[in-house]
Amino acid sequence: MADPILKWAGGKRQILPRILDHFKDEDDYESYHEPFFGGGAVFFRETHEDAATVNDINPRLVNFYRVLQKDVPGLLDELDKLRQRMPDDDPNSEWDHDEKDQHDREIKNYYYQVRALFNKRPNNQDYDKTREAAMFLWLNRTCFNGLYRENRSGEFNVPIGNHKSLGLDMDSKLQEASNALSGVEILCEDFGYILDKAEEDDLVYFDPPYDPQSSSSSFVEYTSESFGKDEQRRLSDVALELDERGVNVVISNAPSVTDLYETDRMANFDYSEIGARRAINSDGDSRGEVEEVIITNIDKEDRRSQHTHIPDYN
């Protein structure tokens, strides 16, 4: 068990107990798979001795996890270089207004310099993967709300956030997360890969970009490609095929997708509604409880909630 390293939109820290309530106990399933990895909050909460695959379609995210898995010392060295060059992020309270403004401008300028360098990496060419992973982590900790968003050109375009502390003194957390990823196959493919990897009695947890509840709540641009209605339907088809093979499936999503799982062909699936506070919207007054659903084919009597207390995740 380890702490998630990245801040990630749609992360599951707040509702982890509810999600894990729908899992089987670890001794009751074989290998574990997570095709939409993101921040990995669910993965890192468990102890996966037989974890098989984690996957995400975002290549910059996948590069970060592969470096984290294999080269923590190198990642820390590159992260230290970024930290050393950054202006002090805890300005002296005795500074006057002009000094404070100058300090804030220096931090802002440095952020956009690092972001521009991060976006310069050409596709399909050699690049320093460890250095990029360090920039990815630094930008994640420094940008607005830990948000990851790309424009149509595939460039990271999130503005700087307002942080009292970046929380980058995380050497031990990085090592613990690296240990958790040991032996896990980290993939960067379409989620349909799972049909070639999951076997009977495995457990697959899907946490796709949520079907938006309204135009204002839409946030599916984790990459320059979107995840729309057609993909949601295809996900339900994949879930059905896994069910037919005897694979345990758990899905978290928005309530608007439940009609895909209420058909006769999906008779083995049921769902429960939960709520979670989201902090994606830049308008603080617009953040609040968002209904979510947990969809699964695991029989109620086999779920962890029937015989195990899941402590809250802090």
Predicted confidence at residue 215, as pLDDT, reads 44
Show me where the domains of the chain are located.
13-57+189-306, 63-170
Predicted confidence at residue 83, as pLDDT, reads 85
Residue 232 token pair: 């949601």
Predicted confidence at residue 92, as pLDDT, reads 63
CATH of domain 63-170: 1.10.1020.10
User: Rounded CA gap, 109 and 99, in Å?
Assistant: 15
Backbone angles phi, psi at 33, to 5 degrees: -135, 145
Of 176, 168, 178, 175, nearest to 80 by C-alpha is: 168
Q: How far is CA 29 from CA 32, 52, 197, 203, in A?
A: 8, 12, 15, 6
Of 137, 130, 134, 84, nearest to 110 by C-alpha is: 84
Cβ-contact 143, 161 below 8 angstroms: yes
Residue 182 token pair: 């040991």
pLDDT tens per residue across all 314 residues of the chain = 899 999 887 767 778 999 999 999 988 999 999 999 999 999 998 877 777 899 999 999 999 999 999 999 999 999 999 988 877 655 566 777 777 788 788 889 999 999 999 998 766 567 899 999 999 999 999 999 888 988 888 889 999 988 666 666 788 999 999 999 999 999 999 999 999 999 999 999 999 998 765 443 444 455 545 688 999 999 999 999 999 999 999 999 999 999 999 999 999 999 999 875 544 444 444 444 557 899 999 999 999 986 544 444 34
| Domain covering 13-57+189-306 assigned CATH 3.30.565.10 in the classification | no
pTM beyond 0.95, yes or no: no
The residue length of the chain stands at 314
Which bin fits 201, alpha (ψ -120 to 50), beta or left (φ > 0)? Answer: left
